[in-house]
Amino acid sequence: MSATSNDDSPGNQNSTGQAMKRMAIGIGVLVVLTALLFYAAGDGFYPWAKAIHVIAVISWMAGMLYLPRLFVYHVDAEKGSVQSETFKVMERRLLRGIINPAMIVTWVFGLWMAWKVFHFQGGWLHAKIALVLVLSGLHGYLAGAVRKFAEDRNEKPARHWRIVNEIPTLLMIVIVILVIVKPF
Ligand code: HEM
């Protein structure tokens, strides 16, 4: 089967609806499981929330590091080639299947913990939220790039995507130090 005859190929109009449906089902299942856990764990829910937060963070960061790397290789693929069409499918699946839902889960559980235990107080927390906003802005920028690549409209060179690839790494290092060391 060629890349373009794949169900999730760039030209398939149904793929957007299917991906949204899958994401809605996934988030629905997570909401139900979280509600069950919330009632079962009672006062012990906080560490569970932190575990889910960290799992989501890992998934979000894995995607945010992999996506610009895919762009680096995609730039060199000839427009209209099977390779280029395959990159489009990989990029869209990564964005919709992993990066978007992982970001939502990270935010929901992060904000809940920030409210529940820290009452939104603490310099480290304010700095962390500010940096996560920057990370979310980068997420939006990469989502826009996925659209541009899908329409063969990317004009940025591989070097640009190599540099962009370093930004989530730097943000992640500072964010993790802020939340674990809590230096201020
Ligand atoms: C979306 C906004 C976010 C908010 C509001 C938030 C907030 C929080 C809060 C309140 C905690 C609990 C801290 C504790 O119990 O000491 C926590 C834990 C943690 N967060 Fe976030 N977070 C966010 C996003 C992120 C991101 C993007 C990363 C990594 C890149 C991250 C990494 C972690 C880690 C590693 C922990 C566990 C720390 C520990 O157990 O000591 N968070 N977060």
pLDDT tens digits, 3-51: 444 455 544 556 677 777 877 888 888 889 989 988 888 888 999 999 9
Going by pLDDT thresholds of 50, 70 and 90, the confidence category of residue 1 is very low
Percent of all residues in the chain with a pLDDT value above 90, rounded to a whole number: 77
| Nearest protein Cα to ligand 1, atom 32 | 176
The pLDDT, as a whole number, for residue 154 is 96
Phi/psi at 120 (5° precision): 55, 30
158 CA to centre of ligand 1 in angstroms:
32
Q: What is the dihedral of CA 175, 177, 180, 184, to 10 degrees?
A: -90
The pLDDT, as a whole number, for residue 27 is 81
49: exposed, middle or buried (C-beta count within 10 Å: 0-12, 13-18, 19+)? buried
For the CA of 50, the nearest atom of ligand 1: 18
pLDDT, one tens digit per residue, over 68-92 is 999 999 999 999 999 999 999 999 9
181 CA to centre of ligand 1 in angstroms:
12
pTM of the prediction?
A: 0.88
pLDDT, one tens digit per residue, over 96-150 is 999 999 999 999 999 999 999 999 999 999 999 999 999 999 999 999 999 999 9
Rounded to whole angstroms, the Cα distance separating 107 from 100 reads 11
Which of 61, 65, 128 to mutate to test ligand 1, by most ligand atoms within 8 A of the CB atom? 128
Q: What is the dihedral of CA 105, 103, 169, 88, to 10 degrees?
A: 140
- What is the domain partition of the chain in residue ranges? 46-181
Ligand 1 neighbourhood includes 172 CB (under 6 angstroms): yes
| Nearest protein Cα to ligand 1, atom 40 | 180
Ligand 1 neighbourhood includes 52 CB (under 6 angstroms): no
Q: In the 8-state DSSP scheme, what is residue 96?
A: I
Which of 45, 48, 52, 53 to mutate to test ligand 1, by most ligand atoms within 8 A of the CB atom? 53
53 CA to centre of ligand 1 in angstroms:
7
30 CA to centre of ligand 1 in angstroms:
19
Ligand 1 neighbourhood includes 88 CB (under 6 angstroms): no
Rounded to whole angstroms, the Cα distance separating 175 from 145 reads 25
The pLDDT, as a whole number, for residue 12 is 56
